Chains A and B, each alone.
Chain A
Amino acid sequence: AQSVSQHNHHVILSEAASLELGCNYSYGGTVNLFWYVQYPGQHLQLLLKYFSGDPLVKGIKGFEAEFIKSKFSFNLRKPSVQWSDTAEYFCAVNEGDTGTASKLTFGTGTRLQVTL
């Protein structure tokens, strides 16, 4: 079965620091990759996604992620975090092509705390 690993469970950064959150998955075939964000008290929102094409994808609020197939990784980055980025971040993976793809598997999440 597909598994998704997020190695950083809790990250504390000062404003303006750079961010990189790790995400690794186990499936070797075609995958669709997602990062979702959950701000305190809110529901999950899509941050960015990768289906195909350029492995460097850009999302909302200055976030980007790079798909490295050889490393089964899809790490999330932001050059300079803001206090408003305080949230929980979830990596998620679908196996296979859209329309027939498997269920979405989520990582356990990374709680990011940005201090002023």
Chain B
Amino acid sequence: NAGVTQTPKFQVLKTGQSMTLQCAQDMNHNSMYWYRQDPGMGLRLIYYSASEGTTDKGEVPNGYNVSRLNKREFSLRLESAAPSQTSVYFCASSEWQGETQYFGPGTRLLVL
């Protein structure tokens, strides 16, 4: 049981480049989430998917898009990266909304 996995672990982008962060879980969870973690600001929700086939905006969705590819996978896309998107990105999943969330190891993104 790998839990929640994320790729890549680290990425450097130039301003304006695009990329997709991948997340997968093997716990048969229904809900999945993307957060960003910045110093002194805790974790902020970017997007979430309460169940397969649905996605909703979180607290800081601007500049991001998501795809719930299937029950296991939930990707986060940056269409045109900006330095303000330099952060650590965490994916999480839970059996249902409101239940305990399990986190992946994170992706450290640097936008120059």
Contact = CB atoms under 8 A, between A and B. Distances in A.
Contacts of B101: 46, 104
Given A32-B98, A102-B98, 19 more contacts: A36-B103, A43-B90, A43-B103, A43-B104, A44-B43, A49-B100, A97-B98, A98-B96, A98-B97, A98-B98, A98-B99, A99-B97, A99-B98, A100-B97, A102-B97, A103-B45, A103-B59, A104-B33, A108-B40
Nearest to B38: A108
B74 interface: no
Interface residue range, chain B: 20 to 34
Interface of A: 9, 32, 34, 36, 42-46, 49, 90, 94, 96-109
A46 B41 CA distance: 19
A101 B33 CA distance: 14
